Structure formats: C-alpha cells, structure tokens
Copies of this chain bind each other. A is one copy, B any other.
C-alpha cells in the first residue's frame, strides 16, 4: 500500500496518527500544509509540521491542543521582562525545534531535509513532507484589511470577519509529493479533517497539484472537518459562514467538488448527503481517543478500497 495524506494541524494530525498506527510505517506519507509558516522573533516556525511531529511522536500537549507536553514557559516569562513580543507563545522545549530549524535553514538545508531528520530522531515511522520547500504564505482579507495568517489566527484569535484568502508566493510543490501523486502504485489520497480553506487549499493551490490530483488514478477520500454544523476545533465553521457558505459537512464536500471519490461524514450529518458526487461513508468522526483515531483511519482505508 502507499497512502498519501494531506494534513493541516490538530484535526489532520489526529487522523494521521490513526493512519500511522493501522498501516505499515513505510506505507504512509503525510504532506503538511506550510501556508501557516511564519517568521517570529527571527525564528522560522512551521506550526502544522510541528503539530504533526509532536502528535506522531507522542510529544503533543494534550491540555493545550498545540505545542509539547511537559512544557515550561521560562523563556516566555523572561521575554516579557525584556519587552519582547509575547502574543505567540513559545514553550522552552518547543523553542528547541524552532531554533534548530531556523539555524539549519540558514545553513542551507531544506525544510524537507530538516523535517525528515527530526522525525527520524523522534522515532516517527511515516515520512512527513512539507507541501513545498519554497515560500507560500496564507493571507487573510478581513474586515480590518489584509492580515498575515498568524496575525489573524493567533494574535486576533480568528475574530476578524474573513472576506477572502490569498496564498502569496511562487512556491513549487515538494517534488516527492508530485512524484507520489504520479506513482501508479499510489493506493489512496486522504484529505484529513483539516480546515479546507486554510489547511488544505494552500496545498491544492500549489502549481500542478490540482491537475496531479485529477490525473491521479488512486481514489481521493476526504473526512469532513465539520460535525453537525460545527468544527471540532478552530474557525472552520465561522469562516465558512463569513465566506458565504453553509457551515456544513455537505458544503465542504461541495467545495472539494469533483476532486473527491469518497467522503466520510459523521452520523450527525448522514441525512444531508443526498445527491452528492462522492461515495459517502457514515461513521463516528469525532476523535477523542487513540482508538477513535485508529477506527476512523480504518474506515478511511476501507472507503478508499471500496471505490478503487
């Protein structure tokens, strides 16, 4: 088997963890959104890669939903006394990732190389590929004007009304990502339950990716990030309303359109799927436990097999 998962942060990482536990490690490749990446305090921060790395290595912070477990905050506390920017919180352990990554990027290593070295060191089996080694930055056209993504997402807590999104930069997709999509041995593409607009769309909008997905012979399966009109975490539902969409599992499927061969929705949304193009699978999509993640991963793989 060869499974390619497209993922953003928290929700996507949960399913990626499930997939990593029900598949042989070498069979899974995860492509991470890097549209959220930014430079802060001179450090190169890749939030979705880090959430994937921490989740797959068992180091994720279960209380916060981001960052590392067993975290301490002495750097941040001291930075406050020095008048530094504190709106983006960096734990002492998490900081090691950002400092080391920034240092290696400046020394000429690619984000792909660094991420691959880190996941090996932390004992993660599946490959984690940045969607690109180039620069693409998600920007948010909000009621207050154009905002950098983390300004919108963290500093302003997703409060501004979103009119439009833009993916800035001329990044090319990571070559191995494109090669996998073109590989006849590819078994399935999984679009994880991440925000379609800010986690998945940056990946899809890279030059050639949409065409490669349409040309790809493997089935494409998405899991709805919306359950009964609400996102499990994050601004997906609010953002859909602001973008003039119905905040529903159905509207997500319609947004992905012809791309999808199969679509996984929660029991709560089963009644609203009539007449949709992809094959619908109804299951429990809320992932509270590790067992939930594994069970959903199996449903996803079965759905892919059933349309192949």
Which A residues form the contact surface with B (CB < 8 A)? 41-43, 68, 71-72, 74-79, 81-84, 91-97, 99-100, 102-103, 106, 117-118, 121-122
Q: CA of A43 to CA of B95 in the docked complex: distance in angstroms?
A: 13
- Output the least CB separation between A80 and chain B (Å): 8
- B103–A78 CB distance below 8 A: no
Known contacts A92-B75, A93-B75; is-contact A81 B121 (Cβ 8 Å): yes
- A96–B117 CB distance below 8 A: no
What residue in chain B is nearest A117 (Cβ atoms)? Answer: B83
Per CB-CB distance, the 6 closest pairs between chain A and chain B, nearest first, are A78-B96, A92-B92, A74-B92, A79-B96, A42-B103, A78-B93
Can you list 29 A-B contacts with CB-CB less than 8 angstroms, sorted by A residue number? A41-B103, A42-B42, A42-B106, A71-B74, A72-B74, A72-B92, A74-B74, A74-B91, A74-B92, A75-B75, A75-B96, A75-B99, A76-B96, A78-B92, A78-B95, A79-B96, A79-B99, A81-B96, A82-B96, A82-B97, A82-B100, A82-B121, A83-B117, A83-B121, A84-B96, A84-B99, A92-B92, A95-B95, A95-B99
Q: CA of A96 to CA of B95 in the docked complex: distance in angstroms?
A: 10
With a CB–CB cut-off of 8 A, which chain B residues contact A92?
72, 74-75, 78, 92, 95
What residue in chain B is nearest A103 (Cβ atoms)? Answer: B42
With a CB–CB cut-off of 8 A, which chain B residues contact A79?
96, 99-100
Q: CA of A75 to CA of B95 in the docked complex: distance in angstroms?
A: 6
With a CB–CB cut-off of 8 A, which chain B residues contact A95?
75, 78, 92, 95, 99
- B100–A41 CB distance below 8 A: yes
Q: CA of A100 to CA of B85 in the docked complex: distance in angstroms?
A: 9
Known contacts A42-B106, A100-B79, A103-B41; is-contact A93 B122 (Cβ 8 Å): no
